[in-house]
């Protein structure tokens, strides 16, 4: 993402309403400060599955009363992740991982784009919401491709319980994620046969 682009976010609606990494989930059950816990989790995720981000500095900002559950931006060699403290405490470990991997996937995708393209997309997204929709859906697809589909589904379920449920314009819905996971499992079974 360019320096002038808005943070990508796992936005909340204005109307409030084990398979993957079980060892990581257990290791974060100990009492730590929320910021340190999230920083450690992000660093482990980056080391395991985001090699392009290993050389970047990581900043975590934990805040109450955010307009989003999580958000991310990149400036120079620093990745900043914003997290709503209330939400992150309510989420189970799998949902936390899903939200954080989604944000790291935004960064990974943006790093592959030129700064001009990032700026253009950020500017145009104000007038053309379909740009944001495409970006969110493609980011969700990358989360699933990296093997974190169940975690993304856990996050979407959390979001849908506490806020206005996601629809196709917000990103992949729970129904779409389930369908993609079923297809992925079916494809894997067919390869084994």
- pTM of the prediction? 0.80
Q: Which runs of consecutive H residues, i.e. helices, occur in 146-173? A: 149-162
Segment 142-166, tens digit of pLDDT: 999 999 999 999 999 999 999 999 8
Is residue 129 assigned to a domain?
yes
| pLDDT at 139 > cutoff 70 | yes
Q: Which residue has the tokens 């405490």?
A: 89
Please tell me which residue, 58 or 5, carries the higher pLDDT value. Answer: 58
Determine the Cα–Cα distance for residues 80 and 106; give it in Å rounded to an integer. 12
**Domain total for the chain?**
1
Is residue 3 assigned to a domain?
no
Is residue 92 assigned to a domain?
yes
pLDDT at residue 29, rounded to an integer: 42
pLDDT band (50, 70, 90) for residue 36: very high
Is residue 1 assigned to a domain?
no
Is residue 2 assigned to a domain?
no
C-alpha closest to that of 52 among 130, 141, 123, 113: 113
Please tell me which residue, 140 or 19, carries the higher pLDDT value. Answer: 140
Is residue 139 assigned to a domain?
yes
Angle at 162 between CA 83 and CA 63, to 5 degrees: 20
**18-26 mean pLDDT:** 32
Segment 83-111, tens digit of pLDDT: 998 999 899 999 999 999 999 999 999 99
Is residue 116 assigned to a domain?
yes
Q: What is the 3-state secondary structure (H, E, C) of 12-35?
A: CCCCECCCCCHHHHHHCCCCCCHH
Domain holding 28, by residue range, is 8-188
Buried b (16+ CB within 10 A) or exposed e, 128-153: eeebbbebbbebbbbbbebebbbbbb
Instruction: Return the sign of the alpha-carbon dihedral for residues 169, 90, 8, 100.
Output: negative
Is residue 33 assigned to a domain?
yes
What's the chain's average pLDDT? Answer: 83
User: Which DSSP letter does residue 155 get?
Assistant: H
**35-59 mean pLDDT:** 95
């Amino acid at each position: 993402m360019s320096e002038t682009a808005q943070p990508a976010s796992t936005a909340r609606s204005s109307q409030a309403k084990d398979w993957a990494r079980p060892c990581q989930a257990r290791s974060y059950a100990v009492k730590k400060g929320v910021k340190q816990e999230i920083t450690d989790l992000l660093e482990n995720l980056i080391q395991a599955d985001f090699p392009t981000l290993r050389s970047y500095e990581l900043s975590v900002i934990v805040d109450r009363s955010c307009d989003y559950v999580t958000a991310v931006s990149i400036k120079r060699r620093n990745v900043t992740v914003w997290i709503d403290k209330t939400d992150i405490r309510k989420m189970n470990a799998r949902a936390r991982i899903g939200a954080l991997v989604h944000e790291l996937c935004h960064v990974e995708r943006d790093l592959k784009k030129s700064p001009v393209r990032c700026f253009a997309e950020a500017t145009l997204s104000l007038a053309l919401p379909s740009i944001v929709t495409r970006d969110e859906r493609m980011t969700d697809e990358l989360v699933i491709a990296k093997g974190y589909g169940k975690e993304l589904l856990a996050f979407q379920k959390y979001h849908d319980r506490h806020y206005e449920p996601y629809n196709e314009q917000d990103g992949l819905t729970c129904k779409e994620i389930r369908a993609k996971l079923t297809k992925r499992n079916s494809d894997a079974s067919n390869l084994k046969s």
